């Protein structure tokens, strides 16, 4: 039987979608299978959302290389695909003089990794840059190339652009088996349908070990590493203006305090290894740790302004290195596994690297001249924009006059757009990730019923079928059902 | 730019009462801006009875109470623009809003009344650990779903927080066929009205677990269970007291927060205690010509008090635009006496008073910080106690008031503070 | 029969007075703790024939603004009949236009009390 696809990518997180988008340059049949109902539902949605400068990873490692490359590529990608990034720079803060050599080591490593413009700044300059920095701060490593990104925006932009260029997406499709067929093609069995393909890319995040181990005797192991966070209201969003890391001391590793691309303040993460790759639940201990540790680098963090907390799992493997490449003994099966931090920063580079591997394996050729669309128009944001932008939109389309999410100023027009885009939103969370409705201080208290109604109307759904985040997360119960 | 004597932000009970009062004071060029498609605000979903005993001497439901004000505003011909979201109020009282008909538009207002109401504290503000599945609702969102949309958010329910909306929803969900396993309250006392505990919980055998909290939410996609534990005196869960309640829904009634984003944008000074504007005897904020009333000023327990307060704010706004520039300038320099909340009294509204400008009588509203039995509510003008009233019970869930007389203040020139406090004798 | 004393919280108004009702030989002999006449009436009634106002919603057809209309019992009904009243309303739908006070269901459960609309639709 002839393969229907040239490439099946497993996983629609940032890695999978970056690979898909790069592959969409080629004249190839590409399909992304995703177990959840939407893109950006696993590790990609719950992390620090930092574009790391690249001084952390071991010099010479793949992580270091892809981090620095990814950082360089991110800004142009953001222009092409119109998602939010901000090059706010990062500071690694040293809070005791004895630890200063550690900062020097980071500086040296960063330089060796090719990170531009790194330097150590002293207390006075630091205070000037960050008035709320802890009084214990001694000095800091300043990395102006670091930034913050809207992770949802990035992931969705990659996916939408891939879809624009012909990549197919299958959602709610959990992969149960990947097996090489007698003719050298691969059969990917999913809960939706089976797909036959010439090549498989394993971008399954915390499940990338499970997928890898289906095809290889050289087993890998992912140990999900939980990170818990608290997100503060935009009223606290300017408490710091750069991403603040703590230089690890004998007191521990510390957590980051950072503005976000949506104007909030993020504090976290914790780091605890867990067994269950589903355990994205927050814990009493974890949240308490976040609350206490943020004070190590930043003073007076207004924790009263917390609007939500969440936990994400990093796809950590004991070797602490990305696993990228064709798997030995499994021709056509390409790992994009163990993508933990700085995986988000690296994804533009990971996409290129994996696409190069696949295209040389399959001998792919570019799409005919001019038929690949490199750019994509992002979602309209009204919050914080000059009011004449809004006024002009409202003149053209009255749905821009109907504010649905009052906290983040999201109108009906934006929500309808989020639903009807390629790979449009199908749930409350899908709408939230695309246009921020429900992401504000009331956390959807006021707008949820309205967004549910718009989803019903636009998708022709019954109220009982509207979900928070896909099947099983229905928001209402049947009328009269016991 | 469009000009109006008074622009009122919000068409709920506060905004409507302010508009009617201002109109009756002779300022008729008024515009009410309401974000919902209907006037009446949150009262439209409060279908239970118990409203209006003070105002109308009868017991009305929320929609009926709202309708009386809506009808009155219509009779007077007060312009109300619905579906209109105010985006900005500037310090010089330019109100910018958006709606479907006009798009983005601005109005130069002679005075502004802030009447945006409040919102519910969401789960995230409590840091309840666990998953974030469907089935966690604030009580008010559930109330909207049931009473406005005719939809059921769940069948097996645990409620955290014993605020009035939570108590009301315990009964409402029960009447609609759901089972409410318990209402857990972190504090050793309820934040709701006693009558609601009797007729919403006791009537239906729903246990109220005081000094309890939710320690964990189970269920990755939809709520499957919540864990409830007893807390110690410092409100920390006591190990070993956790109990698992299988359920599909967790409702939260854990506090209301005044919605003051617009006030902040206008440069209005906010109280860290009420989270509402700091106001004077005319309910004027720190920004001249900008007044505040209702739940945006401080969270009320009864809508009747909202209506009274809002009528005062509306009258003040009318007085402001009717006065001359000279009079307004003179008002700015008038002597003010701070009102100090002490010994169990958490705050007062207003927080400063000018004896020269106040009416003959002025209602000062406040809340207490704990449950007190057999205490006296005392008012001191300077060092002299002028009022001393015994209360059998005082509770944080219920708003209290004292009335100050202008004559008392004017007859004591030179007093530097007005103190409202609780005393044991 | 011995004298019995029952503690109640008055639900007439938000004051929530703590009432002590003394019952002797099945007769209410005293109500204490009330601050108004209504409290005494409530105290007497609550221990002999407790009643409640029931409020709920019914669906409305043909309204441009509402899916549901809120309703109430026009006066209080015996407390044990609350769920019977809810059951009697389970299949009731109304047609717009609806005015406040319109009878949605007359003489609910034989109580002599009507269910009336509390909202326009």
CATH of the domain at C89: 3.10.530.10
Q: Are residues C104 and C67 located together in one domain of the fold?
A: yes
pLDDT, position B327: 86
Total number of domains constituting chain B: 3
Encode burial over B304-340: b for 16+ CB neighbours within 10 A, e otherwise.
bbbbbbbbbbbbbbbbbbeeeeeeeeebeeeebbebb
Report if residue A72 sits inside a domain: yes
CB contact under 8 Å between B301 and C55, yes or no, is no
- Give every CB contact of residue A156 below 8 A, 6+ residues apart in sequence: A39, A40, A83, A423, A433, A434
Does residue A364 lie in a domain region? yes
List CB contacts of A4: < 8 A, sequence separation 6 or more: A29, A195, A196, A197
Of B47, B149, B301, the CB nearest to C55: B47
Does the beta carbon of B64 lie under 8 angstroms from any beta carbon of chain C?
yes
Whether C11 shows a pLDDT value over 60: the answer reads yes
Give the span between the Cα atoms of B209 and B207, in whole angstroms: 6
Q: Is A479 on the interface with B (CB under 8 A)?
A: yes
Q: A157 CA to chain B: closest CA distance, Å? A: 25
Q: If you compute the radius of gyration of chain A from its CA atoms, what whole number of angstroms results?
A: 22
Backbone angles phi, psi at A110, to 5 degrees: -60, -45
What whole-number distance in Å separates Cα of residue A91 and Cα of residue A332? 42
What's the Cα-to-Cα distance from A34 to each of A22, A40, A169, B349, C108, rounded to whole Å? 18, 10, 8, 56, 55
Residues B283 and B217 in one domain: no
Q: Which domain-ending residue is among B221, B254, B287?
A: B254
Q: Which chains touch C (3 or more CB pairs under 8 A)?
A: B
Give yes or no: residues C71 and C22 share one domain: no
In this structure, the number of other CB atoms found within 10 A of the CB of residue C105 comes to 18
Q: Are residues B236 and B352 in the same domain?
A: no
On whether any CB of chain C is under 8 Å from the CB of B150, the answer is: yes
pLDDT at A480 over 80: no
Q: Residue A413 falls within a domain, yes or no?
A: yes
Same-domain status, C62 and C22: no
Same-domain status, B19 and B138: no
User: Is A416 a domain residue?
Assistant: yes
Note the pLDDT tens digit of each residue in B147-206: 999 999 999 999 999 999 999 999 999 999 999 999 999 999 998 888 899 999 999 999
C83 and C29 in a single domain? The answer is: no
- Residue B412: which residues within 8 A CB-CB, separation 6 or more? B381, B382, B384
Task: Give the per-residue pLDDT at B53.
Answer: 87
- Average pLDDT in the A35-45 region? 97
Same domain, A2 and A64: yes
Q: What are phi and psi of A204, to 5 degrees?
A: -95, 15
Whether B47 sits inside 8 A of C13 (CB atoms) is: no
* Cβ-contact A308, A443 below 8 angstroms: yes
pTM, two decimals, is: 0.95
Task: For residues A217 and A243, state if they share a domain.
Answer: no
Question: Do A134 and A236 fall within a single domain?
Answer: yes
Contact of B114 with B291, CB cutoff 8 Å: yes
Domain holding B396, by residue range, is 336-425
CA neighbor of A61 nearest in space, from A317, A361, A332, A359: A317
Please check whether residues B10 and B43 belong to one and the same domain.
yes
The CATH number of whichever domain residue B246 belongs to comes to 3.50.50.60
CA distance B337 to B415: 8
Taking CB atoms and an 8 Å cutoff, what residues of chain C touch B50? 14
**What CA–CA distances, in Å, run from A429 to A205, A444, A468, B303, B365?**
20, 10, 6, 35, 41
Lookup: tokens for B28: 């008729």
For A339, the 3-state DSSP assignment is coil
Coil, strand or helix: which one is A299? coil
Whether residue A293 is found in the same domain as residue A433 = no
Identify whether residues C38 and C65 lie together within a single domain: no
Contact of B87 with chain C, judged by CB distance below 8 Å, is answered with no
The tens place of each residue's pLDDT in chain B, 425 residues long, gives 999 999 999 999 999 999 999 999 999 999 999 999 999 999 999 999 999 988 998 999 999 999 999 999 999 999 999 999 999 999 999 999 999 999 999 999 999 999 999 999 988 888 899 999 999 999 999 999 999 999 999 999 999 999 999 999 999 999 999 999 999 999 999 988 888 999 999 999 999 999 999 999 999 999 999 999 999 999 999 999 999 999 999 999 999 999 999 999 999 999 999 999 999 999 999 999 999 999 999 999 999 999 999 999 999 999 999 998 888 888 888 889 999 999 999 999 999 999 989 999 999 999 999 999 999 999 999 999 999 999 988 888 889 999 999 999 999 988 999 999 999 98
Nearest-angstrom CA–CA distance, B158 and B162: 11
Measured in residues, chain B has a length of 425
Same domain flag for A133 and A168:
no
At A421 the pLDDT is 96
Phi, psi of A210, rounded to the nearest 5 degrees: -60, -45
Quote the domain boundaries for residue A9. 1-84+150-221+317-377
Does the beta carbon of C99 lie under 8 angstroms from any beta carbon of chain B? no
C34: domain CATH number?
2.20.25
Please determine, for residue C61, whether its predicted confidence score (pLDDT) is greater than 50: yes
Q: Considering only alpha carbons, which residue of chain B is nearest residue C60? A: B150
**For A184-198, B299-313, C25-39, C50-64, which range has the lowest pLDDT when averaged over its residues?**
C25-39
CA distance between the termini of chain A = 49
Catalytic residues of A: 52
Q: Hey, are the CB atoms on C67 and B392 less than 8 Å from each other?
A: no
Domain boundary among B311, B333, B355: B333
Chain B partners within 8 Å of A444 (Cβ): 122, 141
- Look at residue A476 and tell me if it is in a domain: no
CB-CB neighbors (< 8 A) of B127 in chain A? 230, 282, 287, 291, 306, 309
Domain boundary among B333, B367, B384: B333
Give C1→chain B minimum CA distance, Å.
27
Scanning every residue of chain A, which has its alpha carbon at the shortest distance from the alpha carbon of B154? A477
* Residue A420: DSSP 8-state: H
- The boundaries of the domain holding residue C84 are 55-117
Nearest to A80 by CA among A198, A165, A186: A165
Q: How far apart are CA A186 and CA A3, in angstroms?
A: 8
Does residue A1 carry a pLDDT above 90? no
Both tokens assigned to B80? 């109300």
pLDDT band at A250 (very low <50, low <70, confident <90, very high): low
Q: Which residues contact B138 (CB under 8 A, 6 or more apart)?
A: A445, B120, B121, B122, B123, B251, B252, B253
Give the pLDDT of residue A482: 39
Cβ neighbors of B8 (< 8 A, separation 6 or more) are: B15, B18, B19, B22, B30, B31, B32, B33, B112, B113, B115, B314
User: Residue A401: which of B103, B132, B216 has the nearest Cβ?
Assistant: B103
What's residue B393's pLDDT? Answer: 84
Alpha-carbon distances, residue A435 vs A147, A409, A431, B331 (angstroms): 21, 10, 6, 46
Q: Which residue of A231, A395, A468 is in closest CB contact with B134?
A: A468
Give the CATH number of the domain where residue A458 resides: 1.10.10
C63 and C34, same structural domain?
no
- Within this chain, do residues B231 and B271 fall inside the same structural domain, yes or no? no
Q: For residue A391, how many other CB atoms are within 10 A of its CB?
A: 18
What's the pLDDT band for A252 if we cut at 50, 70, 90?
low
Across chain A, what does the average pLDDT equal?
Answer: 95
- Rounded to an integer, what distance in angstroms lies between the CA atom of residue A125 and that of residue A133? 11
Do C7 and C35 belong to one domain? yes
One domain for residues A139 and A270:
yes
One domain for residues A331 and A450: no
* Pair (B311, B373) in one structural domain: no
| pLDDT reported for residue A268 | 95
How many domains are contained in chain A?
Answer: 3
Instruction: Measure the CA–CA gap between C34 and C15, rounded to whole angstroms.
Output: 10
Q: Are residues A59 and A159 in the same domain?
A: yes
Phi, psi of B146 (to 5 degrees): -75, -50
A42 shares a domain with A135: no
Indicate whether A75 belongs to any domain: yes
- C83 and C113: one domain? yes
- Residues C9, C37: one domain? yes
Mean pLDDT of A323-343: 97
Domain count, chain C: 2
Judged by CB atoms closer than 8 Å, whether chains meet at C13 and B195 is answered as: yes
Residue-wise pLDDT for A44-83, tens only, equals 999 999 999 999 999 999 999 999 999 999 999 999 999 9
Q: How much is the ipTM here? A: 0.94
Q: What is the C-alpha separation between C30 and C23, in angstroms, rounded?
A: 7
Residues B261 and B116 in one domain: yes
Is residue C78 domain-shared with residue C98, that is, in the same domain? yes
Which candidate from B100, B141, B145 shows the least CB-CB separation from A402?
B100
- 3-class DSSP assignment, residue B121: coil
The reply to whether A400 touches chain B by the CB within 8 Å rule is: yes
C70 and C89 co-located in one domain: yes
CB contact (8 A) between residue C9 and residue B61:
no
Give the CATH number for residue B357.
Answer: 2.60.40
Q: Count of A–B CB contacts within 8 Å?
A: 140
Does any CB of chain B come closer than 8 Å to the CB of residue C6? no
Same domain flag for A179 and A32: yes
Among A313, A329, A359, identify where a domain stops: A313
In chain C, the residue whose alpha carbon lies closest to the alpha carbon of B148 is: C68
Distance of CA A444 to the CA centre of its chain: 22
Please compute the mean of the pLDDT values over residues A86-99 and round it to a whole number: 95
Q: Is beta strand B225-230 parallel, antiparallel or unpaired with respect to B243-246?
A: antiparallel
Q: What is the CATH number of the domain that holds A109?
A: 3.30.9.10
Residue B115 shares a structural domain with residue B3:
yes
C41 and C67 within one domain:
no
Query: Cα dist. A22→A328, A372, B349, C112 in Å?
Result: 23, 10, 62, 75
Q: Are A184 and A332 in contact (CB under 8 A)?
A: yes
pLDDT at C119 over 90: yes
């Amino acid at each position: 039987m002839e393969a229907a696809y040239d490439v099946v990518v497993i996983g629609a997180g940032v890695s999978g979608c970056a690979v898909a988008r790069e592959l969409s340059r080629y004249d190839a049949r590409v399909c992304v299978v995703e177990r959840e109902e939407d893109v950006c539902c696993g590790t990609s949605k719950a992390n620090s959302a930092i574009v790391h400068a690249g001084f952390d990873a071991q010099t010479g490692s793949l992580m270091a290389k892809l981090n620095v490359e990814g950082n360089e590529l991110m800004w142009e990608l953001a222009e092409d695909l119109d998602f939010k990034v901000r090059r706010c720079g990062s500071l690694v803060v040293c809070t005791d003089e004895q630890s200063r050599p550690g900062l020097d080591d980071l500086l040296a490593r960063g330089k060796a990794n090719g990170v531009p413009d790194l330097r150590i700044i002293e207390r006075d300059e630091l205070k000037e840059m960050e008035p709320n920095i802890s009084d214990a701060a001694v000095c800091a490593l300043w990395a102006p190339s670091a930034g913050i990104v809207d992770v949802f925006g990035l992931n969705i932009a990659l996916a939408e652009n891939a879809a624009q260029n012909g990549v197919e997406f299958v959602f709610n499709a959990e992969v149960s088996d990947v097996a090489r067929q007698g003719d050298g093609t691969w059969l990917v069995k999913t809960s939706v349908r089976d797909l036959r393909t010439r090549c498989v890319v394993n971008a399954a995040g915390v499940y990338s070990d499970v997928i890898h181990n289906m095809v290889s005797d050289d087993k890998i192991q992912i140990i999900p590493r939980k990170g818990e966070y608290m997100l503060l209201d935009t009223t606290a969003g300017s408490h710091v203006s750069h991403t603040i890391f703590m230089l690890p001391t004998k007191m521990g590793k510390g957590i980051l305090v950072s503005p976000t691309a949506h104007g909030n303040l993020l504090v976290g993460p914790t780091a605890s290894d867990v067994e269950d790759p589903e355990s994205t639940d927050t814990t009493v201990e974890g949240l308490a740790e976040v609350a206490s540790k943020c004070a190590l680098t930043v003073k007076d963090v207004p924790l009263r302004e917390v609007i939500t907390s969440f936990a994400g799992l990093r796809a950590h493997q004991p070797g602490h290195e990305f696993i990228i490449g064709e798997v030995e003994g499994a021709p056509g099966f390409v790992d994009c596994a163990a993508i933990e931090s700085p995986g988000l920063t690296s994804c533009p580079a990971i996409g290129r690297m994996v696409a190069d591997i696949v295209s040389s394996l399959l001998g792919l050729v570019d799409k005919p001249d001019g038929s690949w669309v490199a750019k994509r128009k992002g979602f309209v944001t009204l919050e914080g924009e000059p009011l004449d932008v809004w006024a002009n939109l409202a003149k053209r389309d009255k749905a821009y006059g109907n504010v649905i999410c009052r906290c983040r100023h999201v109108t009906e027009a934006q929500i309808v757009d989020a639903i009807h885009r390629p790979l449009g939103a199908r749930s409350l969370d899908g709408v939230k990730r695309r246009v921020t409705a429900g992401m504000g201080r009331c956390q959807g208290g006021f707008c949820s019923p309205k967004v549910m109604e718009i989803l019903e109307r636009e998708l022709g759904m019954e109220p009982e079928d509207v979900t928070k985040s896909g099947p099983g997360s229905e928001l209402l119960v049947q009328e009269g059902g016991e | 730019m469009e000009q109006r004597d008074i622009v009122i932000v919000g068409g709920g009970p506060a905004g409507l009462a302010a508009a009617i009062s201002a109109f009756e004071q002779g300022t008729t060029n008024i515009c009410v801006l309401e974000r919902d498609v209907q006037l009446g605000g949150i009262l439209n979903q409060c279908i239970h009875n118990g409203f209006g005993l003070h105002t109308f001497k009868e017991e009305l439901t929320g929609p009926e109470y709202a309708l009386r004000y809506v009808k009155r505003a219509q009779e007077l011909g007060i312009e109300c623009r619905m579906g209109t979201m105010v985006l900005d109020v500037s310090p010089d009282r330019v109100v910018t809003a958006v709606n479907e008909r006009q798009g983005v538009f601005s109005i130069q207002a002679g005075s502004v009344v802030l009447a945006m109401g409040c919102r519910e504290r969401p789960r995230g503000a409590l840091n309840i650990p666990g998953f974030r599945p469907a089935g966690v609702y604030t009580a008010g969102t559930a109330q909207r779903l049931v009473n406005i949309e005719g939809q059921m958010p769940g069948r097996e329910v645990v409620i955290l927080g014993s605020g009035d909306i939570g108590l009301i929803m315990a009964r409402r969900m029960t009447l609609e066929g759901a089972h409410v396993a318990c209402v857990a309250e972190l504090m050793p006392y309820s934040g709701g009205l006693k009558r609601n505990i009797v007729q919403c919980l006791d009537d239906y055998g729903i246990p109220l677990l005081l000094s309890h909290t939710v320690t964990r939410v189970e269920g990755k996609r939809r709520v499957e269970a919540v864990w409830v534990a007893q807390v110690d005196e410092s409100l920390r869960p006591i190990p070993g007291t956790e109990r698992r309640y299988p359920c599909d829904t967790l409702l939260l009634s854990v506090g209301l927060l005044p919605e003051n984003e617009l006030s902040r944008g206008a440069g209005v000074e906010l109280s860290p205690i009420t989270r509402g504007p700091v106001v004077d005897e005319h309910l004027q904020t720190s920004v001249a010509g900008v007044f505040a009333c209702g739940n945006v000023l401080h969270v009320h327990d009864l809508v009747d008090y909202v209506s009274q307060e809002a009528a005062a704010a509306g009258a003040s706004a009318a007085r402001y635009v009717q006065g001359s520039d000279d009079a307004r300038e003179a008002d700015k320099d008038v002597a003010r006496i701070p009102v100090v909340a002490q010994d169990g009294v958490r705050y007062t509204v207003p927080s400063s008073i000018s004896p020269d400008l106040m009416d003959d009588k002025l209602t000062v509203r406040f809340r207490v910080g704990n449950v007190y039995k057999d205490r006296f509510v005392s008012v001191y003008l300077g060092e002299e106690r002028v009022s001393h009233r015994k209360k059998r019970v005082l509770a944080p869930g219920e708003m209290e008031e004292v009335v100050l007389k202008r004559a008392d203040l004017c007859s004591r020139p030179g007093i530097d503070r007005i103190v409202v406090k609780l005393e044991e004798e | 029969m011995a004298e019995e004393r029952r503690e109640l919280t008055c639900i007439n108004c938000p004051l929530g007075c703590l009432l002590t009702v003394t019952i002797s030989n099945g007769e209410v002999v005293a109500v204490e703790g009330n601050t108004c006449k209504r409290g005494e009436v409530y105290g007497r009634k609550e221990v002999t024939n407790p009643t409640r106002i029931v409020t709920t919603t019914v669906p409305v057809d043909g309204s441009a603004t509402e899916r549901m209309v809120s309703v109430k019992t026009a006066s209080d009904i015996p407390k044990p009949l609350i769920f019977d009243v809810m059951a009697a309303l389970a299949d009731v739908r109304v047609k717009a236009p609806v005015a406040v006070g319109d009878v949605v269901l007359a003489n609910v459960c034989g109580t002599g009390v009507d269910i009336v609309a509390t909202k326009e639709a």
